[in-house]
Amino acid sequence: MNQETVMTCRNVNIFYGEKQAVFDVNLDILKNKVTAIIGPSGCGKSTLLRSLNRMNDFVPSFSMNGEINFDGRDVLKSDPMEVRTRIGMVFQKPNPFPKSIYNNIIWGPKIHGHKVNYDELVESSLRSAALWDEVKDRLHDSALDLSGGQQQRLCIARTVAMKPEVILMDEPCSALDPRSTIRIEDLINDLREEYSIAIVTHNMQQAARVSDYTAFFYEGELIEYGVTDGIFTNPKEKRTEDYITGRFG
């Protein structure tokens, strides 16, 4: 793997109070690639993902050590607001703001004082989230009137509007129906041209479909990490094989 990396986790340990959730993880997120993080529930995959952009800061009992390198700096020692500006996040359940579609997109750039043409930004963001054609005539309607799948694509558009370098997705399709899921997966395929993506999913087929690299987590440890095809066709670890063949999880 002599690819360019955007984020590097080194010896990352994460705790909730006394309980350790992630054990000594080393993981690279590669540039313009989709990295899938898979594993059974409670294996620490979401926990790790949320640490990458400091979203775990809001959990009172949370603590961690190790190093998460991003652009030559340790995320843990950087300003969380700056980190989150450059590393966007899409959540499990669509969470559009109760505002118009237009205002959902421009809220981020606006609070950071980005001087851009908002109309153009809204169009380009919605286009890259494959939502433009569906909503171009009702940009000023409430985002809450959209369907669940559309709302999730709006959340992706909102993230894209910030022009982040990395996009983290925390089971972005788990609340969506199969058709919406396929649309999001297609979208992830397109987004890799411009962004580096890390996606947590417990749907293995999804990981196989959308990702270039896959990391398998089990009980807080990174068991195996490599090219997705390799992991799914020829896993080196017994536990990986058991999981992807559906023997547990």
* Nearest distance, CB of residue 162 and another protein, angstroms: 6
For another protein, the closer of residues 44 and 108 by Cβ is 108
* Nearest distance, CB of residue 60 and another protein, angstroms: 7
For another protein, the closer of residues 88 and 235 by Cβ is 88
* Nearest distance, CB of residue 89 and another protein, angstroms: 4
For another protein, the closer of residues 10 and 110 by Cβ is 110
Q: Which residues bind another protein (CB under 8 A)?
A: 53, 55, 58, 60, 81-86, 88-89, 91, 93, 95-98, 107-108, 111-112, 144, 155, 158-159, 162
Cβ atoms of 12 and 221 within 8 Å: the answer is no
For another protein, the closer of residues 155 and 244 by Cβ is 155
Helix (H) or strand (E) holding 152: helix 148-160
DSSP β-ladder status, 87-90 and 166-170 = parallel
- Residue 168 C-beta-side C-alpha neighbours within 13 Å: 24
Residue type, 94: P
Count of positions (residues) in the chain: 249
Residue type, 198: A
For another protein, the closer of residues 96 and 235 by Cβ is 96
* Nearest distance, CB of residue 183 and another protein, angstroms: 20
Beta strands in 98-245 (DSSP E): 166-170, 196-200, 213-218, 221-227
* Nearest distance, CB of residue 13 and another protein, angstroms: 24
The whole-angstrom separation of Cα 90 and Cα 68 is 20
Cβ atoms of 163 and 105 within 8 Å: the answer is no
